[in-house]
Amino acid sequence: MSANQTLFTLAQNLKIAADAFGPDQGRPVMLAHGGGQTRHAWQACGKRLGESGYYALAVDLRGHGESDWSPDGDYRMERFAEDLLDVADGFSVPPVLVGASLGGIAGMIAQGEYAKAGRRGFAALVLVDITPQMNMEGVQKILGFMSSNLEEGFASLEEAADTISRYMPGRPRPENLSGLAKNLRLMENGRYYWHWDPRFITGTQKPQGSREPERLQMAARSLKIPTLLVRGRDSDLVTVEAARQFAEIVPHSEFIDVANAGHMVAGDKNDIFTSAVLDFLTRMAPAASAS
């Protein structure tokens, strides 16, 4: 199943790029990637959801991939949350949100703050390796990786692949680098750069999710919709204790711990991850109920 590319125009004429999988009338499921990623992180998951009858929409968050960069460099969590809700409003029924890392934080704020205040929000929420309380050593490791080669870029896709392999030694280095090319921008100087706005981590209005655990805890406590937390058992961001605390804050939530997976759960163990999401969706938001 191939994806259909689509484009959304939000406030400030900001364009959001997305790939859609599955029947147009299927139950909508939005897929929101993590910081520094693009919608292509969801290709395998989106394809399988589409084949299962869902309308899966993998979006490039603002400043990432083929979506517009914020005209004023505003990458606060509020903006990401508002963007997700604005896209969600375009569906006839509330979509399910599957959010990894940045996408999950934005989803928590969107549902726990904005929906509580009157926005329609989502039908269900899947949080992928993200909780209100994050391991700051893991956060700093991720930020360090994202900051590497930020200004100088990479001379080739092979150099970029080597850098990623050093960061994720447990994941096999891909032989075909065409997928990696989608996460990089080839500039006029012949060098490759990360496919996101550097102001996302260097600007004065960068996201502060990891530094706002109390805010995220309050948002999580407000969650009333079906919620699933998927953790990578080898995650350096979400500890066992953080997952336990989330279960206390959101007692109706479900939890899946994926073995041999780190923070990039969907990429590390996509089949297991997608099966867990499909099981949750089948029970909480069946594809056939999107009439």
CATH of the domain at 224: 3.40.50.1820
Residue 88 located in a structural domain: yes
pLDDT in tens, 152-207: 999 999 999 999 988 887 778 888 888 888 889 999 999 999 999 999 999 999 99
Instruction: Round to the nearest angstrom and report the end-to-end CA distance of the chain.
Output: 23
pLDDT in tens, 95-149: 999 999 999 999 999 999 999 899 999 999 999 999 999 999 999 999 999 998 8
Residue 253 located in a structural domain: yes
Q: How many domains does the chain have?
A: 1
Range of the domain at 51: 4-135+207-284
Residue 224 located in a structural domain: yes
Long-range contacts of 144-151 (CB under 8 A, 24+ apart): 146/35, 146/36, 146/194, 146/201, 147/201, 149/193, 149/194, 150/193, 150/194, 150/198, 150/201, 150/202, 151/198
Query: What pTM does this model have?
Result: 0.94
SS3 229: strand
Residues in CB range of 49: below 8 A, 6 or more apart = 21, 22, 29, 56, 274, 277, 278, 281
Residue 176 located in a structural domain: no
Q: What is residue 210's DSSP assignment?
A: G
Residue 129 located in a structural domain: yes
CA trace torsion 92, 98, 103, 105 (10° rounding): 100
Q: What is residue 152's DSSP assignment?
A: T
Residue 161 located in a structural domain: no
